Structure formats: C-alpha cells, structure tokens
Structure 1
Amino acid sequence: MRILVVEDETRLASFVQQGLTQAGHTADVASSGPAGLELAAAVPYDAILLDMMLPGQNGLDVLRNLREFGIATPVIIVSALTDTQHVIRGLDAGAVDYLRKPFEFDELLARLRIVQRRGPTTTDAAPLRVADLELDLVQRRVTRAGQPIALTNREFALLELLLRHPGRVVSKTRIAEKVWDVDFDMGSNVIEVHMSQLRKKIDRGFAEPLLETVVGQGYRLRDPATRV
C-alpha cells in the first residue's frame, strides 16, 4: 500500500514512516494540514493516516475538504483526542477508523490490513494469481508452482502491483507513484534494477517467463494460457 502520514510531530511521523516501510508499504509524510491536502489531491494513495491537531488546518477540516473534493481515499484518524465526541465527529466526517494515541504499531498495521481488504482493488483476502504464480497478501508469501520465492519488501510491492493488472502494461510512472515515495528520481535506473532482480526470482528455472519488459512503455505479467 502507498500511505500518506499527515502528522506534525516529527519523531512520531518518522517512526511511523520507518515502520510502514519495514512492513512493506510506501509512506510519504506531510507535517501540516494544507501540505497533507495537497499531497492527497496529487498522489493516488491507498490510505491516509491523519492527525487531528495540525498546523494550518486541523485534521477534521482536511478530511471534510478531501471528501468535498471527491477524494475517497480511506482515512484513519490517529489522534490524542480520545473522547467519544471527537471519535464520532471524525467518523461522521468520513474517516473509516479512529486510532487513539498512544498506540501499538501492530494495531496500526492491523487497521491498515482491514482497509486493504475493504479497498476497491480487492474485496477479500484472496491471493493474487497469474498462471502458477501466486501472491498471498495476508501471509505475505509468494510461490510459483508451489515453490516459495523470497522477495524483498520492494519486490513484493512491485509484484503485487503487476498482479493487480495482469496482462496490462504498467508504466514506470505508475510504478514510481505506487511503490516509491514522492522524492523518487525518475531519471535513475532503480526501477530497472529491481525489475531485473524480480524477473530472476520469479522466472529463472521455469519454462514459461511471466515478467516482460515492453520497450518504451513499462512492464507486464503475461499469462501463457491466454497469450497475454
């Protein structure tokens, strides 16, 4: 998942960003309400973690503006305002969840998994498959023809993105948006290097290659059974 963390406490924001990255997600940070609103409008995030007490514009107003602008990204409010009325206001304004500070990081990850299962890209926790390649989102496990494949967090995110669009070309720009952060340098060869490593892991030793480069366009996972 690509997640926006809107939090003005620098240490907490850094902790959350690092933890999300280690868990295999991509995380951007905004330290004010207006900055969070601008990023949320520009980048297709899968979820937003939103503090309530923010400089420039409070979290409740940010959430209301998001919904007024037609941005339906799921929002989890993460706040030290823990009384019932604040929770009700947040949920009524369009948040999908409300997590009270201080919180256990494992609980935050569990709340995000719920968002992922409810999201538009998947309605359940069913594994993603192309041919004999399978990715289990819940167990974070990848197999091909029943053989386990060890992937880094970044490789897992790349493969998940491709498996969500089987047979379709996924551009470098789309990959950068979903798997890397806002500071990614499109002039670098980082995507090519990661794709090369991913191709070795999922195709080496198998008769049918699945991951292919479409020159000048991007990458796709093809299904030999459908010739796509």
Structure 2
Amino acid sequence: MARHALRILYVEDDPRTAAAVSELAASCGDTLVWEENGSAALLRAGMEAFDVIILDRMLGDIDGLTITKRLRESGIGTPILMLSALGRSNDRAEGLDAGADDYMAKPYEPDELMARLRALHRRAAGQEHQAVIIYGAFECHLKARTAFRNNKHLSLSPKEFELFRYFMENAGETVTREMLLRDVWNIDFDPQTNVVDVNIGRLRRKLEEGFDSPALETIWGSGYRILEGV
C-alpha cells in the first residue's frame, strides 16, 4: 500500500533552513508549506488542513511555545513537532507541556525528522475512528480536545488534556511514571524533576473539583489509575 503523502506546515524564519527542509520533504513525496513568522502561521493553520506542523521554537515575532498554546486553545489538534537549538530535558519538557507532540533538538538527522513526522501522522490517523472515549462518568473528546465529567466541562491545559487522554486510553490499568514520561513527555529517561507529580496534582484537582468521589488513584510504588468517577 502506498504511503500517504504528508501536507506539512513548516514555521521557520531562516529561508536557507526552510529551503533545505522543503527539498527534503519533496524528495519523500510530501508537500511542505513554509511560513516565515508565527502570525502568518497561526492564520494559515486556522484556514487550511495540514497533516503535521514543524515549528521552530525561536522565531522573530512570536515564539514557538506561544504559537503552540494558541493553536491548542483554538481547538487545532494537528500534530506539532517542535525544533529548537535548546535541547536540554527541561527545554523539551517546556515544549511538550505547551502542547507539542514531539520535540527535536538541532542539529538533527534529516531521515529521523521525516520518520518522526510520519509517526506523528500515523498516531493521529489511528485515533480518527474513535472521536470520544467514555469511561464511567468521564468523556474524552479527542478531536475537540475537551473533557467532561458527568456532562460538566473540565477546563484543562494542553498538557493536562494529554495526561487525561492517556489515562482514558489506559482506563482500568495502572499507569507508571515511566510510561507517562515516555508517552506523554516523549522522554525516555528520568529527568530527576517532579514534572509528572506536579501535573498529576493539577489534573487531579480539576477532575475532582465539585465532586464527592475521587478521580485518580495513586498506586503507591507503581503509578496512577483513573477511576470511573461515578
């Protein structure tokens, strides 16, 4: 079966870098649309459909973190791969917390960049058949990126939604800290920070506020599990 040709939005303020990536995408049979600044990219992303977005973190007008947050707040769930010369673990965590789906540090291998884009598209396409996940009193609307408990809308940040979705996809199972770092933060090592615990605490408060029964159960020494919330 022929591979789906990607339609990529690339946000990069360096024309030479943009030209090189555009040539790379074309050699793979994909179509790349380049925008030089964040303002234009936000407008384009809101008007046209893309399979994936490559977003440079450091731009002249609006930084990549802000662009990502604005896209997610406006309901645009297109997978985002953030590129940056800032490659430390806390830099990656910031990008993923803002709502990016993947993060690559510069310099990078061209083949890996395209492989990651294809993986992001496969992951997103695999979720299209299931628009809503329901478990007990909870609902997770994947395309709209919204969450509900007993029909009450839960106002979640982009990262809180990613956590909620992961728990819903693994409903009834214990989710370990290592699983969250790997699958939600895309970090395959322990950064020795409390980023998981802090975000779990925030999510728990939002899931439980105004309700009598708990939403998340801490399995001491193992991880966490979402409860039915009824």
TM-score normalised over the length of structure 2: 0.52
Q: CA deviation at 1:55?
A: 8.0
Q: Please state if 1:142 is matched with 2:147.
A: yes
* Aligned counterpart in structure 2 of residue 29 of structure 1, from 73, 79, 83: 83
Q: CA deviation at 1:201?
A: 1.3
Contact 2:80 2:102 in 1 (8 A): no
1:220 maps to a residue whose letter is R
1:73 equivalent in structure 2: 119
Q: Please state if 1:178 is matched with 2:190.
A: no
Q: CA deviation at 1:26?
A: 7.1
Q: CA deviation at 1:173?
A: 1.6
* Identity of matched residues, %: 24
1:186 and 1:174 mapped to 2: Cα distance? 13
Root-mean-square deviation (CA, aligned residues, Å) is 4.3
Q: Please state if 1:13 is matched with 2:56.
A: yes
Change (3 A) 1:185 1:223: same
Deviations 1:125-171 (A, max 9, x none): 42122111112122222111111111111111110111110011111
Contact 1:26 1:180 in 2 (8 A): no
Aligned partner of residue 175 in structure 1, secondary structure: helix
1:143 and 1:187 mapped to 2: Cα distance? 32
Q: Equivalent residues in 2 for 1:27-66 (5 A)?
A: 27-29=81-83, 58-59=110-111
TM-score normalised over the length of structure 1: 0.52
Count of residues in Structure 1 that have an aligned counterpart in Structure 2: 157
Q: Equivalent residues in 2 for 1:68-217 (5 A)?
A: 73-74=119-120, 116=124, 118-119=125-126, 122-180=127-185, 182=187, 186-217=191-222
1:153 maps to a residue whose letter is P
2:113 and 2:157 mapped to 1: Cα distance? 34
1:134 and 1:62 mapped to 2: Cα distance? 34
Deviates more, 1:184-193 or 1:10-19: 10-19
Q: Greater RCO between the two (CA within 8 Å, min separation 6)?
A: 1
Q: Which runs of 5+ in 1 are unaligned?
A: 32-45, 76-95, 97-114
2:83 maps to a residue whose letter is V
1:172 and 1:210 mapped to 2: Cα distance? 17
1:155 maps to a residue whose letter is E
Q: Which runs of 5+ in 2 are unaligned?
A: 1-9, 19-35, 38-54, 73-78, 86-99
Q: CA deviation at 1:183?
A: 9.4
1:56 and 1:198 mapped to 2: Cα distance? 33
Aligned partner of residue 73 in structure 1, secondary structure: helix
1:26 and 1:218 mapped to 2: Cα distance? 28
2:108 and 2:155 mapped to 1: Cα distance? 44
